[in-house]
A and B are shown apart, each in its own frame.
Chain A
């Protein structure tokens, strides 16, 4: 009798290899695994949302705590499904309007504070910076880089003369930024593969303790 844990590991290994088989070429094993994944992950999300959000945040307040104000978001949420009813599809706009307006409004205050003001503050030169030549040079480079990068994306005026010099400087900084992003992306993708191979060699084949 095969232990259940071993069976599950073999299932996981089979599905892993089925996905890897796409590297050779597209095949029925890969397609089967891909479609299986779509179904399983959709149902997983549904079940988790039901137990973790729907019940504690709507059912309990409404039916156990008798907080009847929650009827409003409940009804708004149900209107999402009007999409599937002919002639009533427009009702989906109500919950979308509430959500989009709400999230747009929520992002303004904190965004101004954290993304604009704090970052502007960090870009400015401070009198104390002049005491440390190394720090001063770095901050000057950062300032020039920020201005160059922002000017590069300014397309309302043709890039010529002084503007062209500034945008060329901006391109250099952007290339360094993208190079750094690429270097890190390679690390990220390599890590994902290493994780899978570790599973196959450790949990499935027991070649690594």
Chain B
């Protein structure tokens, strides 16, 4: 029962949301619209669960005094501080919550991704080698794209832009579409298997 009931819920919700696409009847549309709002509500709790798991993980680290446990304290205090700021002052511009977002979260998150530029430069220098004909073709395609992004090159040598546009709209399109078909067919098969209960990985261990 513990595993049968969730499988039945999955089957009925999956079948309903699949079949509703083909039925334009008003009542079905109404149920479908309500169903979508239910999905939004359930997704809200899923987001909250992620935060709960994070808190759990760091409290455990603190209790066990694991390596770098003092940083877990930083995380929990930051979470608490930001939460108090949010729930007490609200989320409007000018509030402490909004200031913390713009001056603490935004700089750090942006910078974490900004340092990737250094790593991509280093990786390009050390690892990007034309070891074979295929790798050379990859390199040449990348060169063309990068040159077209250099503003004075694309302005004074318009053929670079024309060629890169052709590259994107013809061979790149072909490859991306081929991959798209493959990925979609795989997703379709997996979706059907999930709805029918054949694919049960989401349930965790056991049959």
Real binding pair: yes
Known: A183-B142, A192-B116. 16 other contacts (CB 8 A): A19-B112, A40-B108, A47-B97, A69-B34, A73-B37, A80-B45, A84-B52, A93-B203, A102-B13, A104-B195, A115-B181, A141-B171, A186-B120, A192-B113, A193-B117, A196-B107
Q: Smallest distance from the beta carbon of B7 to chain A beta carbons, Å?
A: 7
Q: Is the beta-carbon distance between A102 and B78 smaller than 8 angstroms?
A: no
User: Measured between alpha carbons, how far is A189 from B114 in the docked complex, in Å?
Assistant: 7
Chain A residues contacting B74 (CB-CB under 8 Å) are: 32, 35-36, 39
* B window 35-94: CB within 8 A of A: 35, 37-56, 68, 71-72, 74-83, 86-87, 90-91
Chain A residues contacting B50 (CB-CB under 8 Å) are: 42, 45
- Interface membership of A171, Cβ < 8 A: yes
Which of A22, A32, A108 is in CB contact (< 8 Å) with B115?
A22
Q: Is the beta-carbon distance between A142 and B141 smaller than 8 angstroms?
A: no
Residue-wise interface mask of A (8-40) relative to B, using a CB-CB cutoff of 8 A (1 in contact, 0 not) = 110111011001101100000001111111111
Residue on B with the closest CB to A32?
A: B74
Interface size class of B (residues with CB under 8 A): 35 or more
Which of B3, B149, B182 is in CB contact (< 8 Å) with A153?
B182
User: Measured between alpha carbons, how far is A53 from B170 in the docked complex, in Å?
Assistant: 43
Residue-wise interface mask of B (157-184) relative to A, using a CB-CB cutoff of 8 A (1 in contact, 0 not) = 0000000001111111111111111101
Q: Smallest distance from the beta carbon of A19 to chain B beta carbons, Å?
A: 4
- Interface membership of B111, Cβ < 8 A: yes
Q: Is the beta-carbon distance between A74 and B41 smaller than 8 angstroms?
A: yes
- With an 8 Å Cβ cutoff, the count of chain A residues facing the other chain is 111
Q: Is the beta-carbon distance between A81 and B104 smaller than 8 angstroms?
A: no
- How many A-B pairs with Cβ below 8 Å? 385
Instruction: Write the residues of chain B forming the contact surface with A, with a CB cutoff of 8 angstroms.
Output: 2-3, 5-7, 9-18, 21-22, 34-35, 37-56, 68, 71-72, 74-83, 86-87, 90-91, 97, 99-120, 124, 134-135, 137-146, 149, 166-182, 184-185, 187-188, 190-192, 194-195, 202-204
Which of B17, B114, B139, B182 is in CB contact (< 8 Å) with A196?
B114
Which of B104, B142, B143, B168 is in CB contact (< 8 Å) with A36?
B104
Chain B residues contacting A156 (CB-CB under 8 Å) are: none
Q: Is the beta-carbon distance between B116 and A98 smaller than 8 angstroms?
A: no
* A window 91-129: CB within 8 A of B: 93-112, 115-116, 119, 122-123
User: Measured between alpha carbons, how far is A44 from B47 in the docked complex, in Å?
Assistant: 11
- Interface membership of A46, Cβ < 8 A: yes
20 contacts between A and B (CB under 8 A): A8-B103, A15-B111, A35-B75, A38-B75, A40-B105, A41-B109, A42-B79, A43-B51, A43-B82, A44-B101, A47-B97, A97-B10, A101-B13, A101-B195, A108-B191, A111-B187, A116-B185, A177-B179, A182-B138, A192-B117
Q: Is the beta-carbon distance between A57 and B37 smaller than 8 angstroms?
A: yes
Given contacts A44-B105, A105-B16, contact A49 B48 (CB under 8 A): yes
Q: Is the beta-carbon distance between B139 and A40 smaller than 8 angstroms?
A: no
Chain A residues contacting B182 (CB-CB under 8 Å) are: 149-150, 153
Q: Is the beta-carbon distance between B188 and A98 smaller than 8 angstroms?
A: no
